[in-house]
Structures are given as structure tokens and as C-alpha cells.
Structure 1
Amino acid sequence: MKKLDKKGFTLVELAIVMVIIGLLIGAVIKGQAMIDNAKQKRLLNDVQGISAAYFSYYDRYNAVPGDDTSTHGWAGVAAGDGDGLLEGNATTPSGESQEAWQALRYAGLLTADPTTTGAASLPAHPFSGKYGLFNRNFGASIGTKNYILVDNVNGSVAEIIDIKNDDGIFNSGTVQADQAYTNATVDLYYAL
């Protein structure tokens, strides 16, 4: 009787390969979740650091950074109008929004070159967007306040940040967004 040479994989071998592939996919997905979680924590730390710098400036100089009527002799810094609100543009900084970053850096409260102006002066956040400073009306119960802008954040990440720091509703409280968290990306406003 002639023996047939059969070549190929047995069902057991295929099952082992499928289990290995499943484990690899699971590890990649878990790894991505860990990376996203680390980015969220860094973003929150950045916002808290900017907030601490803002209030430290206020404690030291008795004025809002950028809105300060004194330039403290810092080159390239213009005096603000002293009304307590940052005017200008948060994403392409101009006016008091620009002066705020320069003042915080000249005061030694944030690191970076204080002479840098425009969009290059905005710190980057972990999700490839930028931080900004400006003012907005947060509703009747809170009123108009200066805020930290976190632009172009994934909607689900922004919702988690809102839940951890506020009420989890995109258009109420001290953490708000420009649109519902179901959108792919949102701009997040963190009241100071």
C-alpha cells in the first residue's frame, strides 16, 4: 500500500496560529488605550499647569496676564486695557491673548521663548492641537470668563475631560466645547 504525503496545516496548528493572532490584536488594542490614557493625563496636567501659571501671575502682579496695564519693562510686550478679560484671538494669538503667553514666559511661570509671537507661541497639546487663551460667556450662572482653549481634541477625549472636571455636558459648566462630544473633534474651553 502506498502512503500519501499530505502537506499542509492541521486544524490544531491553525487554531494555535489564530490564538496567537488574537492575542497580538488584543495587545495592540490595549496598548493604544494606554497611550490615549497617558495623553489625556498629560493634557490635564498641561491645563492645570497653565491655570496655575495664570493665577500665580495674578497673585504676583495683581493683574491678568496679557491684560496687565504694566509691561514690567519686558521687551515686545504691550500693555493691556485692565478690564480683566483677554481680547484678541486664541488660535492665532493677537492682542491680549498674545501678550498673555509672553507675560507668563517673561515672569518665568511658563517655559519657552517669550519673544516668540503668533501661532508659533502657542504650546502644543498631546493630541496634535494647540492651547490658547481668550474669554467667553459660559452662561448665566458663570458669566464671561477667561479660558484655556484646547483646540482640535477628539470628541470622546474631550467628554472624558469634561466628566472628570465638570458636569460632562458639552454646553454647560466650567468645561465646555464648541459642539457635541459625538463629533470627531471639538474645541474645548476650560474656564479660569
Structure 2
Amino acid sequence: MESFQDTALQMLREFRKLLSNTPIPIIPTRFLQYLALNMFSIEYSRPKETHVEQGYWSTVHECALAMSLQMFSLIVDRCNQLLKDILNKDDGSTAKQLIGSDIDFLLPPIKVWCDWLLCNSKVWNPPPSCSDYKLSGTGDCWCRLASLVNNLEKFRERFKLVLNEPDDSDPSKRKKSNFFV
């Protein structure tokens, strides 16, 4: 644990560098495996005793939570950057042309992580302070997630994106957009 913070900061820097590449040089399955490893480390490190007070964490559990939340924050931040770039671009492109492979790559893991957070609130809530691991930028993962939701709503409004459109040939059938929200 003596070298945890230095190692964690180095890993987060490298993860941020990985996310900054276009296209992101990792296959989607591997990316989801990283999230699954984070979920496993949080679950495995949490106190198992029933007499332990709610909100108490071991040092290892708190570190697992902090690292996982910081990795999630970097993913959300990168998605926010990409959406802001698209929203600032005014070249008359359609939404389908603007949704790039990087956004398509990042949204499913964000949804998986949010689903996990919703289903496991007793494991992580209240969240630990991640101030020791902050690399750059303003706000924590919760502010960045709120920003992402706002940016997705702006994107949807600007490009008149409809998630479920009626099929012209059969009104009872619905086409689904490949936009994950």
C-alpha cells in the first residue's frame, strides 16, 4: 500500500492517454473486461462481516472504489469532450455522420457502469473521496456524469434524434436507433 498512490496515478495517466487516441486502440470486449475487473475488486474487497457498520470500508475497499470511480470519470470526461466537439462543429452534418466510433465505443461501458452503480449502491454509497487521485480538470465523476447527460440531451435536441421511430411499412413495428441512451 506504500506505493499505491504513485502506481494509481501512473495507471490513471496511462488510461487517460489510451482514451485520448482516435480511434481508441482497444477492442470493446477488453474495455468491458476492465470495468468488470473494477466491479470485482470492489465487491471482493468490501467488508463481509454483518456486524460492520454501514459506510465502513477497509483501506483496500476504499482504494478499489476510488480507482474505479476515477477510471469511470476519465471515460465520461472523454465522452464529454467528443460530444462537445460535435456540438461545436457546425458543418451541416447529420447525426449519423457525427456519431463517431469513439462515442459509440464509450457509451455502452458508461451504461454498464451506471447500471452496476444503481444495482450496488450499498457497496459504494457514500462514495469515497477521490481527491488524492485527481489528475486534471474540474469536477468529480458525478459532475462529469451530469454534464454528459446534459450534452446528450443537447445532442438529441440539436439533431432531432428520435430513439424509436415508427416503421413506414408497419406502424406496429419500431425501428431502434443505434444511439445508446
**TM-score under structure 2 normalisation?**
0.32
Which one has more relative contact order, counting CA pairs under 8 Å at least 6 apart?
A: 2
**TM-score under structure 1 normalisation?**
0.30
Q: Rg: which structure is higher? A: 1
Q: Which has the higher strand share?
A: 1
